[in-house]
Amino acid sequence: MNFVSTNVWMRRVLLVGSALVLATYLLASGWVLLSVRQEALTGAAYQWRPSVIATSAILLLVSSVLAMALLGTWKERPRAAKWLVGCLVAFAIAEMLETVFLHRTYGPIRPGEVSAYVYAPLLLIWAALCWRYLVGRR
List the domain range (segments joined by +) for residue 34.
Answer: 3-135
Vertex 31 angle, CA 47 and 29, to 5°: 105
Task: Evaluate whether 56 touches 25 at the Cβ level (below 8 Å).
Answer: no
How long is the chain? 138
The pLDDT of residue 20: 93
Please tell me the distance from the alpha carbon of residue 21 to that of residue 89, in angstroms, as a whole number. Answer: 12
Other beta carbons less than 10 A from residue 83's beta carbon? 18
pTM above 0.75, yes or no: yes
**112-131 pLDDT, tens digit each:** 666 667 888 899 999 999 98
- How many distinct helices (H) and strands (E) make up the chain? 4, 0
| Number of domain units in the chain | 1
